[in-house]
Amino acid sequence: MSAVSPCGPRALRNARDGGVRGRPGLVLACLLAAAAGACSGVPAPGHYARVNGIRLYYEIHGRGRPLLLLHGGAGDGRQFSNQVPVFSRSFRVVVPDERAQGRSTDGPGPLTYHTMAEDVVALMDHLRMKRADVMGWSDGGIIGLDIAIHHPERIEHLVTFGANYNPGGLRSDEQAWLSTANAQSFGDGSRTEYEKRSPDPGHWETAMNKILAMWRTQPNFTLAQLRSIRARTMIAAGDRDLVQPAHTDTLARAIPGARLWIVPDASHGAMLERPDLVNRTVLAFLEDRPPP
């Protein structure tokens, strides 16, 4: 990360073009997004909830219908620094840090999407939130799919960006990188960001290796599970995403009534690269209006 400013246009170009110094776009996008919040003026009214044996950090912004924003892997809720100020004008925006990431603690055992989904549902219970809209990026989108499958009564609208429903959906170069990656592959910037915010700064290597193990083997949703989703759903991806286009298309087609949106001139980090377009389009979908 030292090669580029974490908030500048050169960084976003490098992410879109596949990374710097041979680092695949997946990793760089996550690190860029984790650092993006440092450039934002969004206040951080942080809270903690004890759920499923961990301390889960979350923020609440605005008032209105509840909207959960679920971040991508190896990052934290600051990834939504371009969305929170806009969405909080119309929604009660809840932004958690998933377990082992950001300002939340970890638990024993491996990291799984289903465990993180259950953490989100437990947070909804803690906040006495019966139903919510959900927008998730990358891992956050996968968590949203898991909630929609296992807790269909809890989600009204679901928006995913760059989500895959099995590991084979990633581009071949990403799969090749994952086959040999370890915690150090994330780079020094990842460790520095983690140590600044984690309640357990010495847990970085363990947490990153848990994330890598999860990426290699998960998710594993079946088409039958995807067909069971009843939330109003929009499946989005950049036109140069790290998820294969055919995989994104199959995901959208499997979910009844889902809308497919391919974001033009964008990579896996579409919400960083094209925030105005993303915000307008997502708000229209959440409010059941025609796309802009």
Say what the pLDDT of residue 44 is. 58
User: pLDDT band at 148, cuts 50/70/90?
Assistant: very high
Write the pLDDT tens digit of every residue in 195-214: 999 999 999 999 999 999 99
Residue 244: count of CB within 10 angstroms of its CB = 17
Say what the pLDDT of residue 34 is. 44
pTM of the model: 0.91
Cα–Cα distance, 147 to 210 (Å, whole number): 21
The kind and range of the H/E element at 261 are strand 259-263
- Helix intervals (H) in the chain: 9-16, 25-36, 84-87, 113-126, 139-150, 172-180, 188-197, 204-217, 223-227, 245-254, 270-273, 275-286
User: pLDDT band at 189, cuts 50/70/90?
Assistant: confident
**Domains recognised in the chain with CATH numbers:** 9-286 (3.40.50.1820)
